[in-house]
Amino acid sequence: MKITWYGTNSLVVEAAGERILFDPFVQLRGGEHPNSLDEFLGEKTVFITHGHFDHLFFVPDLLSEGDPTVFCSRTPAETLEEMAESTDQVAVIAPGMTIRIGNVKIHVLQGRHIVFDKRLILETLNPCRLLRSALNLPFLVWANRKFQENGETLVYELEAEGKRIQILGSLNLDDQENYEPGADLLVMPYQGSTFLEKEADRVLARLRPERVMLSHFDNAFPPISQNVDTRGLGILLREKYPMIRCVKPEYGKPVHL
């Protein structure tokens, strides 16, 4: 099994002869990892964790220029209906479902989105910071209104080749969902709060994975994203979870299980 990170929460999982793309996103002007839609056009299977613009905005282009089947919950499907020429290849899914892609089994679980705290919001709205990437602001204002999450963040659990990986769309979990701990790999977004170590601690205490791969830690859509300092997470892992290995992936470089 091979997992390749393409910035933000964009991942390609290769397992049992299948390729599955999650949350494709082309970074905005000034993004830390400049990429293009061409990197995603050949993919045939796409899963979306939730409907925010940095997970969904470029999917209409994939539908019009490529030939993927897109799996997502109801709210992003409704957004795609408004934006895409055709949504014939959009499949609406919900927690409790299991989808088979060849010999890859994907369980759909309820997740939750991280809650943006007041301190983070105030820091993001700093005028100097906004001015540095002012050209992105009109799009970001529009996109944050247009692309809604609506409480539908999903967690995907993949089983293939004797391995099990869990993919989060945001650094939070649902209180009522029954997650199976001990996955071989947890893909964990690491952005969206002033208190990231505290949020990560709650997630790790419930899921107890063998290994963690970070995502969404980069500055993909300035000025409302940033390159996150992960040193605090390293301290948390060493002191409280020394048995969990952590990988901070490099763009386009596969992580092998």
Cα separation, 256 vs 39, in Å, equals: 20
What pLDDT, on the 0 to 100 scale, is given for residue 212? Answer: 98
Report the CATH architecture of 2-256.
4-Layer Sandwich (3.60)
What is the predicted pLDDT for the residue at 126?
87
121 CB neighbour count, 10 Å cutoff: 11
**Helix (H), strand (E) at residue 132:** helix 127-132
The predicted pLDDT at position 129 comes to 86
Residues 228 and 193 sit within 8 Å (Cβ to Cβ): no
What are the percentages of helix, strand and coil residues in the chain, rounded to 5? 30, 25, 45
The identity of residue 31, as a single letter, is G
What strand order describes the sheet that includes 11-15? 90-92, 69-72, 45-47, 18-22, 11-15, 2-5, 255-256
Give the model's pLDDT for residue 125.
85
Q: What is the mean pLDDT of each run of 10 residues along the chain (257 residues)?
A: 97 98 97 95 97 98 95 98 95 98 98 94 88 95 97 98 98 98 98 96 98 98 95 97 97 96
What would the DSSP string read from start to end of 10-37? -EEEEETTEEEEES--PPPTT-SS---G
d(CA 119, CA 245): 30
Q: Residue with structure tokens 């957004």?
A: 79
> Is the CB of residue 43 less than 8 Å from the CB of residue 63?
no
Distant-in-sequence contacts of 72-77, Cβ < 8 A, 24+ apart:
72/47, 72/48, 73/48, 73/152, 73/154, 74/152, 75/50, 75/51, 75/148, 75/149, 75/150, 75/152, 76/48, 76/50, 76/51, 76/147, 76/152
Spans of all domains in the chain: 2-256
pTM over 0.75: yes
